[in-house]
Amino acid sequence: MQEREKAGSWLAVAAIGNCGCWPACFAASCRKVEWGDADRPRVTYFCAMTQTLELAPETVTDRPLWPAMGRGWRRFCPSCGGGPIFDSYLKVRHSCASCGEELFHHRADDIPTWAVLMIVCNLMGVGLLFVEFLFSPPIWVHWALWPALMLPLTLWLLPRVKGSVVGLQWSQRMHGFGGQDTKARISGQSPAGEP
Ligand SMILES: [Zn+2]
C-alpha cells in the first residue's frame, strides 16, 4: 500500500510539477515599463526568457483584443476572420488570403506550448488526484487513462491557443504588427502624414 501511495504521489508531481512554479517565476522576473505618449500610452512587461507582453489601454479600440483572440482561437485571421491563419497544423501563413494582412510578424514562440502545458497539466493533475482519492483504481488505470486524455486535448488546444496568441499580438500591435505608425511612435517621430 505504501509503494502504491508513493507511485500515486509521483504521478501527481509529474502531472502538475512542470507548471506549478509559474506565479513565482512571473513575479520574480517581470518588470513594468510605461512608454508611449498621452494619446497612446503603452505598458510593457519585460519577462525573463526574452518574452515581452505589451498591453494597450482601453482607449485603443481600432483593434479590439477579445474579437481578435476569438478569431485566432477559431484559427482564422485576427484582422478579418475570413481567411485561415495557418498553412498547416501550426505554421502561420505569411499573410491572410482574404484581406492581405501580414501575419508573419507574429512571435508566438513558446507561449502556446507553455499555456497548453499549464492548462492540460493542471486539469489532468486535479483529475488524477480526484480519481485516486475517490476510487483508488489500480495504478495501470492511471497510466492508461491520463496519457489517452492528455494527448488529444494537447493536440486540440495547441493550434487554437497559438491562434489566440497571434490574435493578441496583432491586436496589441506587438513586434511588426503595428506597421510604420508604431515604429515612428516608439522612436519618438511623428507617423507619416501627421505634423
Ligand atoms: Zn484577413
In a domain, 50, yes or no: no
Burial class (CB in 10 A: 0-12, 13-18, 19+), 95: middle
Quote the mean pLDDT of the chain.
Answer: 76
In a domain, 67, yes or no: yes
The C-alpha angle with vertex 49 and arms to 150 and 152, in degrees rounded to 5, equals 10
All three cell numbers of 167? 490574435
- Report the separation in Å between the CA atom of 95 and the middle of ligand 1, taken as the mean of its atom positions: 8
In a domain, 122, yes or no: yes
In a domain, 134, yes or no: yes
Among 131, 109, 107, 123, which residue's Cα sits nearest to residue 156? 123
- Report the separation in Å between the CA atom of 103 and the middle of ligand 1, taken as the mean of its atom positions: 9
- What is the reported pLDDT for 174? 83
In a domain, 42, yes or no: no
In a domain, 52, yes or no: no
Strand 41-46 with 52-55, pairing: antiparallel
Domain hosting 95: range is: 2-28+62-182
Q: Residue 36, Cα to own-chain centre: how many angstroms?
A: 24
- Report the separation in Å between the CA atom of 83 and the middle of ligand 1, taken as the mean of its atom positions: 5
Contact 106, 178 (CB under 8 A): no
In a domain, 57, yes or no: no
Rounded Cα–Cα distance for residues 184 and 173 (Å): 13
Rounded Cα–Cα distance for residues 51 and 34 (Å): 17
pLDDT digits (tens, 9 = 90+) for 167-181: 999 988 887 787 655
pLDDT digits (tens, 9 = 90+) for 63-107: 888 999 999 999 999 999 999 999 999 999 999 999 999 999 998
Neighbouring residues of 195: CB distance < 8 A, sequence distance ≥ 6? none
All three cell numbers of 78? 485576427
All three cell numbers of 25? 517565476
Q: How many domains does the chain have?
A: 1
All three cell numbers of 131? 480519481
Among 79, 122, 131, 130, which residue's Cα sits nearest to residue 102? 79
- Report the separation in Å between the CA atom of 26 and the middle of ligand 1, taken as the mean of its atom positions: 33
Q: Which residue has the higher pLDDT, 177 or 31?
A: 177
What's the whole-number mean pLDDT along residues 25-30?
Answer: 52
In a domain, 187, yes or no: no
- Report the separation in Å between the CA atom of 91 and the middle of ligand 1, taken as the mean of its atom positions: 16
